[in-house]
């Protein structure tokens, strides 16, 4: 749309200039008109294709928490004006959170986008791990917002990935990035999300995925034994069962059954904790507990293998990003080499895997930023 508008303006210039000349208009007037058209054209090509700044609403919906933000459109990416975090389970719907968040905001919201944890079909998401139905039409009508978009939460994170600054990431593997290459995102949190960004022409387009729910494929004898244990417990074992945040406690409890770990005093402490994953990480990092260290090492290895599977499947030569709430919390384990060892362990394609850049997203508002970018698009 922007390109067509620009073309029609430029094609109209000769007629306009001739018309002015026929009327013997001063040449400076002609130059002024040409310059005005050129400036207008550049404005249409900058930022998100909008000529005036507007206020947009963005939301990152999660099973544990929902983050809301008001943004103003900008040249590179929208600028955050105000944000707030809500405990998702304390609210009956997303509408109730939006209503509370917008209290006291007098300005008009021109556009909104919400990243939701689950598949989005026809503008509706029945959220995974949260009993909500998020509907673009309901939100549009409830708050009189001209345009509301619902995307998968990992689509939102993926849309932010190309705009992230160096300070917002840690590089695990420098690799050799292809400018036209596909970008992949894997995000372990309450669940395990995946998404892609595919380059088309001069811009990226997001591709939603529910790859976190594919079958878990073990890569060594220990993981085969873990799978057998999990299969007995759950029947079907997806990668999310093991590589999402709650997977840490599953691995921990399985390892605790081994003779060498029976009677470990941390077992009871972790299993009665409100946040067992955080305790496992703490005992592994600070106290060098063998059981917790083995748990974390196995988790990181599995996460690396799963991330490598997505990278190989989609040929993510534009880079792989690790997002979600878990990755920054286990950063020391991710950078110690075990993750990349599993990531690149793809047989004859090992060299290809070594060429793929891998980064960890440190910005905990990446999904919110991505939702704002989506909302700002024309």
> pLDDT digits over 89-113, tens only?
999 999 999 999 999 887 899 999 9
Residues 6+ apart with CB under 8 A from 76: 47, 163
pLDDT band at residue 22, thresholds of 50, 70 and 90? very low
pLDDT band at residue 74, thresholds of 50, 70 and 90? confident
Buried b (16+ CB within 10 A) or exposed e, 16-45: ebeeeeeeeeeeeebeeeeeebeeebeebe
The 8-class DSSP code of residue 12 comes to: T
Closest CA to 153 of 124, 109, 203, 195: 195
Distance CA 73, CA 52 (A): 8
Higher-pLDDT residue of 33 and 323 is 323
> pLDDT digits over 82-95, tens only?
999 999 999 999 99
Higher-pLDDT residue of 310 and 34 is 310
Residue 362, pLDDT score: 97
Predicted confidence (pLDDT) at residue 49 exceeds the cutoff of 70: no
E strand or H helix at 194 = strand 192-200
Give all strands of the β-sheet with 79-87 in edge-to-edge order: 79-87, 65-72, 55-61, 111-116, 147-152
pLDDT averaged over every residue in the chain = 87
Residue 20, pLDDT score: 35
pLDDT band at residue 378, thresholds of 50, 70 and 90? confident
Q: What is the DSSP string of 23-69?
A: TT--HHHHHHHHHHHHHHHHHHHSTTS-SS--EEEEEEE-SSEEEEE
Residues of the chain with pLDDT > 90, as a percent, come to: 79
Predicted confidence (pLDDT) at residue 342 exceeds the cutoff of 90: yes
Distance CA 265, CA 354 (A): 40
Closest CA to 318 of 207, 155, 176, 157: 176
C-alpha 74: how far from chain center: 20
> pLDDT digits over 56-71, tens only?
999 999 988 999 999 9
> pLDDT digits over 267-302, tens only?
999 999 999 999 999 999 888 899 999 999 999 999
109 contacts 143 by C-beta, under 8 angstroms? yes
Distance CA 228, CA 319 (A): 33
68 contacts 101 by C-beta, under 8 angstroms? yes
Predicted confidence (pLDDT) at residue 5 exceeds the cutoff of 50: no
> pLDDT digits over 197-245, tens only?
999 998 999 999 999 999 999 999 999 999 999 999 999 999 999 999 9
Distance CA 370, CA 78 (A): 9
Residue 105, pLDDT score: 85
Distance CA 117, CA 120 (A): 9
150 contacts 135 by C-beta, under 8 angstroms? yes
pLDDT band at residue 2, thresholds of 50, 70 and 90? very low
Distance CA 357, CA 20 (A): 55
Distance CA 292, CA 294 (A): 5
For the ranges 32-46, 155-169, 306-320, the lowest mean pLDDT is seen at: 32-46
Residue 48, pLDDT score: 39
Closest CA to 188 of 105, 48, 296: 296
pLDDT band at residue 352, thresholds of 50, 70 and 90? very high
251 contacts 242 by C-beta, under 8 angstroms? yes
Which residues pair with residue 204 across a beta bridge? Answer: 199
Tokens of 178: 């292809």
pLDDT band at residue 30, thresholds of 50, 70 and 90? very low
């Amino acid at each position: 749309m922007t390109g067509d508008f620009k073309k029609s303006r430029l094609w109209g210039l000769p007629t306009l200039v001739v018309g002015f000349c026929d009327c013997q208009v001063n040449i400076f007037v002609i130059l002024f008109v040409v310059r005005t058209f050129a400036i207008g054209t550049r404005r249409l090509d900058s930022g998100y294709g909008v000529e005036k700044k507007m206020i947009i609403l963005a939301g990152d919906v999660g099973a544990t928490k929902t983050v809301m933000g008001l943004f103003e459109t900008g040249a590179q990416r929208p600028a955050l004006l105000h944000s707030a975090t809500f405990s998702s389970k304390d609210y009956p719907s997303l509408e109730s959170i939006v209503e509370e968040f917008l209290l006291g905001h007098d300005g008009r919201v021109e556009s909104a986008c919400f990243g939701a944890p689950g598949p989005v079909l026809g503008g509706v998401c029945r959220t995974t791990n949260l009993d909500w139905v998020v509907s673009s039409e309901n939100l549009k009508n409830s708050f009189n917002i001209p345009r509301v978009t619902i995307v998968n939460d990992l689509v939102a994170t993926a849309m932010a990935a190309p705009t992230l600054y160096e300070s917002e990431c840690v590089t695990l593997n420098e690799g050799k990035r292809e400018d036209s290459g596909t970008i992949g995102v894997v995000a372990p949190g309450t669940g395990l999300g995946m998404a892609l960004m595919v380059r088309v022409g001069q811009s990226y387009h997001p591709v939603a995925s529910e790859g976190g729910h594919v079958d878990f494929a073990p890569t060594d004898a220990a993981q085969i034994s873990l799978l057998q244990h999990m299969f007995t417990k759950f029947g079907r074992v997806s990668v999310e069962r093991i590589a999402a945040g709650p997977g840490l406690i599953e691995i921990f409890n399985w390892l605790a059954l081994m003779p060498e770990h029976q009677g470990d005093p941390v077992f009871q402490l972790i299993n009665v904790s409100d946040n067992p994953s955080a305790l496992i990480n703490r005992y592994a990092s600070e106290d060098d507990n063998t059981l917790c260290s083995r748990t974390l090492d196995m988790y990181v290895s599995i996460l690396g293998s799963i991330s490598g599977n997505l990278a190989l499947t989609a040929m993510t030569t534009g880079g792989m990003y690790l997002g979600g709430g878990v990755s920054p919390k286990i950063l020391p384990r991710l950078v110690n080499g075990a993750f990349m060892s599993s990531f690149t362990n793809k047989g004859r394609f090992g060299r290809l895997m070594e060429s793929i850049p891998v980064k960890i997203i440190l910005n905990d508002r990446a999904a919110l930023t991505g939702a704002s970018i989506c909302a700002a698009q024309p």
